[in-house]
Every structure is written in C-alpha cells, then in structure tokens.
Amino acid sequence: MRKRILAVADMVHPYIYRDTFPSGLEPLDLVLIAGDLPGYYIEFIATRCPCPVVFVHGNHGEEKVKDYLGNMVDPGGAINAHGKFIRAGDFSIVGWGGAPRYNERNDGGQYSGMEVKLGLAKLEWGLWLEKRKHSTPFDIFLTHAPPPGPHAGKDYAHRGCKEIGEFLARHQPALMVHGHVHAYEGKKVEYQTDFGSRIVNAYGYTLLELELPSAESTVQKNIRASSQSVFVASDKQVSTD
C-alpha cells in the first residue's frame, strides 16, 4: 500500500499556514510533525487534515497551548508520540522529541545521552513483543534531532544524536523523519542508510510517499516463516537420530 505523508518541522510555512490548506494536495494518510513548531500551528494542521497527526516536541518548548482553565496542554487533535510506540491509522510509529543537551537550560527540550538511552530502552520492551507478531515492529521513527551522519549539523547544538542512531540501526524502520537541522545548512532533504532506512529532514515541509506491506502480504510472510521454522525443527530431529 502506497501512503502519502506530510512532514513538517521548525518553520511555520506559508504554504501550510493558509486559509485554503490543504487544497491543491492529494489526500494525505498521515502528518508527521518533527518539533520546534508552535502549538497553534499544530492545532491548525490537525483541524484541517482528516488523517492522523502525530508530533514530537523540539528543543524550544513551543508545542503546548493554553486550555480554557489556563493550563498548558498538548495541542488538540494531535497525538504526542514522545517516548511512545503508537499505531495511527495504518502506521506504527516510535517517537522521541527534543535534542542532545547543549546548554544549561532545563525546560524538557534537551536530554543527556543517558536519558535518551534509558528512554528508548524502556520502549524496546514493548517493541520486543511487537516483533514477535510482526517482522518489523514499527514503520516510522519520528524524532526532532537527527542521527549522526549526513544530516547532522556542523555546530554542537545541532549535532547528531548517537543514541538515536544506535536505536535506528537496531530496528531499521522503513522511514525516519526528523527536524532540528535548518535549510541553510545546505544538506539533502533525504538519504538512505546502508541498512535501508530512509532518513528525511522535515524542515519547513516535505511531501513523501511510503510503501507499506499490505495486511495480506504480512500474514502470508508470517505463515511462510512459521512453516520454515517447523521444517527446520523437524529436519534437526532427523539429523540427530
């Protein structure tokens, strides 16, 4: 199944924040918001798009909105994926917001290497169970900071996160979407890792398509895997007699 995704980050873009949005776009299956965007903008997108809208926070703490009691809450209509494994429509997503610590500010937008390592380790317990049911436990890794590599920034504040890169390599999802690194860096919008994951920088906005295996093909794959396991087990029994 080919799915259409809108990914946004770091900039309130005039093409998106307009009265007629999303006219001119083909129907979307998912919106991914990769951080450092104000809550009013996230709510605007969520009210205009009839598909799931999933976000993680950035390192500037802009994503909250004020409710009628004056409390700061997540933007309405959008799913906060930070530190979670979620299913949204046909997609399975792992999220991690914020950026590696680069100063002494303590507002939840920065983390140490140990904090991200422990946070993602907690997620892996649930992913282990998912992997028993699905050959690939999740389709999309949504973060604010990039992994080390071609999209890492040149300065310390925008460096790639080693722990995110290690998590990515262990699980090898089809797609990773991040923000944090701005267009003035002159980097390519996307690249592919050696193990086949597609890495997309969502700065501003980008439209992309993702091929998901159909439910039928996934079931057939699991049946074939089970049959092969039984055959191998019986073959081992014969060889030990």
Q: Please write the tens of the pLDDT for every residue from 116-162.
A: 999 999 888 778 776 666 656 689 999 999 999 999 888 888 899 99
| 64-107 per-position pLDDT tens digit | 998 888 899 999 999 999 999 999 988 999 999 999 998 887 77
Tell me the CA distances in angstroms from 62 to 59, 107, 206, 238, one per residue in order: 8, 11, 21, 64
Residue 228 has pLDDT above 70, yes or no: no
| 30-74 per-position pLDDT tens digit | 999 999 999 999 999 999 999 999 999 999 889 999 888 889 999
The average pLDDT across 182-208 equals 87
What's the CA gap between 153 and 109, in Å, rounded?
Answer: 17
pTM: 0.84
Phi-psi region of 212 (alpha: psi -120 to 50; beta: other; left: phi over 0): beta
pLDDT at 233: 36
- The residue among 213 and 5 whose pLDDT is bigger is 5
Quick one: the chain helix, strand, coil %, rounded to 5? 30, 25, 45
Four-CA torsion 157, 8, 146, 166, nearest 10 degrees: 140
What residues make up the domain containing 178? 2-240
The average pLDDT across 172-182 equals 93
Strands (E), 76-137: 79-80, 85-88, 91-96, 99-100, 110-111
- The residue among 165 and 237 whose pLDDT is bigger is 165
Tell me the CA distances in angstroms from 37 to 182, 214, 226, one per residue in order: 13, 33, 45
Residues 6+ apart with CB under 8 A from 172: 136, 193, 195, 196, 197
Q: Which residues of 122-140 are buried (b: 16+ CB within 10 A; e: fewer)?
A: ebbeebeebeeeeeebbbb
Which H or E element spans position 191?
A: strand 190-192
Q: Hey, what amino acid is at 104?
A: E
Overall domain count for the chain:
1
Lowest-pLDDT choice from 117-121, 162-166, 211-215? 211-215
Residue 225 has pLDDT above 50, yes or no: no
CATH number of the domain encompassing residue 212: 3.60.21.10
